[in-house]
Structure 1
């Protein structure tokens, strides 16, 4: 019943956020143009529908419509800013898509600031009203805490922050909790029958906090709560170690706790893969004359193959051959062992400013990065991406420290955001 009531309230607040966005949009038009009639009726309908769809969806995504009892105002402001930035950007994109150039982008800037001020102000008012009501005993939740010494911190917070609206009916715990809170709250024996207690008292939530827990005990308590429709919450010190995203994934009917330390947004990853394929195919087609010209120059100036392939390490340690235009002499790998003492980089990476193995045409290709054009074929084959960490050679990976292996958790790329900065630092260090 409580959850159903919350869903109704959350949906209502989501519609209020849409109404606030509509109000902010019209205010921005009036402030910028001085009247409302500037916007054509059909265009007005389109933009208002887009605002409704975008703000309702983003409001759900950022969970702004949910009234968290313990959410700080800083987190609330951050989510409001994120929604306004994303929403206003999409609205600007709609102006381009629907050829509404006569509106311009300046009113959208007005809209962003006005919407942020109105929405955050509305949220502050709602939260302030509810906090005041909870301090005076209204909109409260009756809870039972099952725990050991690790529950003391949470109990202290509940007693301190009255605006959370939690009323501790009783604590089921050991002598440590009895000694600390026995005079303020009834502390019951760990052998207390939770199911019977939930029948005898009006309880909204059961909060389980133990440093060492028994699976049988947790299962018993959750079953007792589900039978009477009481919310169950649980804390474990193990949760603090879950720095990565965690979720429950079902294999048929078996739920498994899944911890992911890489992006898991399927739609975003598929769109990225589609972009990589289409963009690479386009580059290869458009730059095909360049491919032919470079191939001819290499063949005419230096005997040997036009392309250079080298085994690299990709996603999660998968081996593949990366292709480039050859920029070094044919026996470059054999000569490398003689030049190791001139390596200008620390660790497994080999880099030399004036590498004698590089051919004349190779220096030009490297300086212009044209030697990497064939790697677009690697993208088409699915071994690489346009943007990602540079693919290392197997020998480098063997010398990695454990934490450096994380770079293999993503598909390697032709370029990455750090590459230019690393190269710049390298040149500065070497004068």
Structure 2
């Protein structure tokens, strides 16, 4: 999801909320305050406006949830006027019906049945009006080139089914074609895409060559996974790819979207809200413990309290924080042990206890006495809550690896770097239980997480992490 789309979706929520508020308030004042507007039937229970607003705040999240569940905060599904208006009317009606069904016979909430009818009619009219204004605003911005998706179109001997003409004609679709590639030259496809992405940045690839070979299609899928690009294709291709598939259309032509991860779109927003909330609370509640650990590190061995290192995640390096658990003169980095530490690290590669490009040494001689305790309890990772709060990491995700190790990665494993690394994750839990976890198993777990992310999965991983940390079972680990 582009930043402009995210902002527009947030604005849509605000506008919908405002329109529902105006509709409910207008219904209240029409019934209670406007003289001769309606026949003045006796009202058995009077209701103050503040009390009415409290009831409105109960109904509001129900209606907004219905709008979200039915895809009305997905810009692609709201760009055609009449289908959008019909869906808004149906979904608003359904949301209000759920609220009414739960509270209709409570006279304190519904002292006047006329308010229910007025709120329903006015909500459809005002939410529809708000959505119309938003749609016209979006179309104006798209015509001016603001918020357009940079699209690469791939076509073959059978052409592109008129996609190029329709995309250029219908600016409301939100695409800007930055390149058209010939699928018949499949050997050069990925190379050309690399060049275009480096020069202009690609948001989406639309594969319209149904005759493209399976191997070329898989190369395209791998490329989009590695670069975090949305992949769309005309049906009946890439039969081996079944995860995160969504059906859509471009100008009435059926298209299949193959998402890299559910973390694209609103999933990313939900995950970020959880990260900010829990990392802030964690830093606040654990601040006394953090201070005590810092003091203990200074007493245990001379040197800095924090170990700061360049790590790699989501396609870019960032400063990674953790409590120093090694002797400073043996810690890698110019500001720490320098060449001496690097030479020792190279020697330790000879006794690497784990297959793969990542260094793991049993009974690592560089680790201090306190460092072994901090590593065993994972307390050395508490400063990473700051990385999470800053948006460089997530609470849950693949492990953050050092840049030198990433360079050793084979090309097909780059996919795990398309999302933020995590303080904990499936791999971290598995390694706590099985320190000799094979490298290929780590990749499999990370790939599963990327393809199957959900809010519930994150919560389950966090709870399992706590169980592992507080388990008294003896663990063989690399301390």
TM-score norm. by structure 1 comes to 0.47
TM-score norm. by structure 2 comes to 0.43
Structure with max Cα Rg: 1
